[in-house]
């Protein structure tokens, strides 16, 4: 099997994996970086969201071999005010969706800052992140515990 070199949270990692293995499985099962969660393994829940070069991706739909040489950030490498804000606003219950929510929110904030529009964007000029924008842009991350209002408040607080 080819040896795969991945750069994760500022450190180099090696793994022997077959080409069809997802980035999520490499993280969890080969490197024991279990902070990233598997909720569906088919891109439908967002629990496995990580950042690649600052952009959010669902790692269950990413082939690990395509991410050599990229800067991967998982929840273990995140140090962001959103984390405290999630606790303060009760943006979690069981916490299973939380690593994905936080990585997704970080990626979302930089997308917004870079001027990327969403389906809820009113004008193409950069504007403040409205509650509607936050909901639209976070709609790929399911929280079955229903902590959505806390999640939205935590993100709103950090965004403003």
Partner 1 sequence: MTTVEAGVAGGVGTSPKRPDGGLKVRGEFAFSSDLWADDMLWGATLRSPHPHARIRGIDITAAVALPGVYAVLTHEDVPGAKRYGLEIVDQPVLAMGEVKYQGEPVAVVAADHPETARRAAARIVVDYEVLPAVTEASLGVLLRHVPIRTGDPDATADVVVTGEYQVGMQDQAFLGPESGLAVPAEDGGVDLYIATQWLHVDQKQVADCLGLPAEKVRLTLAGVGGAFGAREDLSMQVHASLLALHTGRPVKMVYGREESFFGHVHRHPATMWYEHGATRDGKLVYVKAKIVLDGGAYASSSTAVAANAATLGIGPYEVPNVVMDASVYYTNNPPCGAMRGFGAVQACFAYESQMDKLASALGLDPVEVRLRNAMTTGSRMPTGQIVEGPAPVADLLIRVRSAPPAPEGSGDLREMPGGVSNTTHGEGVVRGIGYGIGIKNVAFSEGFDDYATARVRLELIGGEPAVLVHTAAAEVGQGLVTVQAQIARTELGVERVTVATADTSVGSAGSSSASRQTYMTGGAVRAACQAVRAALLARVGGARLDGGKVLSDSGAVIADLASVIGDGPIEETVEWRHRPTYPLDPVTGQGNAHVQYAFAAHRATVDVDVELGLVRVVEIVTAQDVGKAVNPLAVEGQIHGGTAQGLGLALMEEIQMVDGIVRNPSFTDYLIPTILDMPPMKVDVLEMADPHSPYGLRGVGEPPTISSTPAVVAAVRAATGKALTRVPVRPEHIVG
**Residue ranges in contact with partner 1 by CB under 8 A:** 28-29, 32, 34-42, 44-45, 47, 74-76, 78, 82-84, 86-88, 90, 92-99, 102, 119-120, 131-132, 135-136, 138-152
Burial of 67 (0-12, 13-18, 19+ CB in 10 A): buried
| CA gap 77, 5 in Å, rounded | 18
**Selected range binding ligand FES among 38-46, 66-74, 80-88, 105-113, rule: CB under 6 A:** 38-46
Q: How many CB atoms lie within 10 A of CB 99?
A: 22
- Minimum CB distance to ligand FES, residue 27 (Å): 11
Site string for ligand FES, 84-123 (x = CB under 6 A): --------xxxxxxx-------------------------
119 binds, among partner 1, ligand FES, none (CB under 5 to 8 A by kind): partner 1
Phi, psi of 120 (to 5 degrees): -105, 5
User: Is 143 an interacting residue with respect to ligand FES (CB under 6 A)?
Assistant: yes
Determine contact, residues 41/62, Cβ cutoff 8 Å: no
| CA gap 134, 29 in Å, rounded | 32
């Amino acid at each position: 099997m080819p040896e795969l070199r991945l750069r994760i949270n500022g450190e180099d990692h090696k793994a022997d994996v077959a080409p069809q293995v997802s980035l999520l499985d490499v993280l969890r099962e080969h490197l024991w970086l279990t902070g990233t969660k598997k909720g569906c393994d088919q891109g439908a829940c967002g629990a496995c969201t990580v950042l690649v070069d600052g952009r959010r991706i669902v790692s269950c739909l990413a082939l690990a071999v395509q991410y050599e040489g990229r800067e991967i950030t998982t929840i273990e490498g995140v140090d962001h005010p959103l984390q405290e804000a999630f606790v303060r606003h009760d943006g979690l219950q069981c916490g299973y969706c939380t690593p994905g929510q936080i990585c997704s929110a970080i990626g979302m904030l930089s997308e917004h800052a870079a001027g990327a529009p969403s389906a809820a964007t009113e004008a193409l000029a950069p504007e403040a992140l409205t509650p509607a924008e936050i909901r639209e842009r976070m709609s790929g991350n399911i929280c079955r515990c229903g902590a959505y209002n806390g999640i939205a408040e935590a993100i709103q607080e950090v965004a403003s």
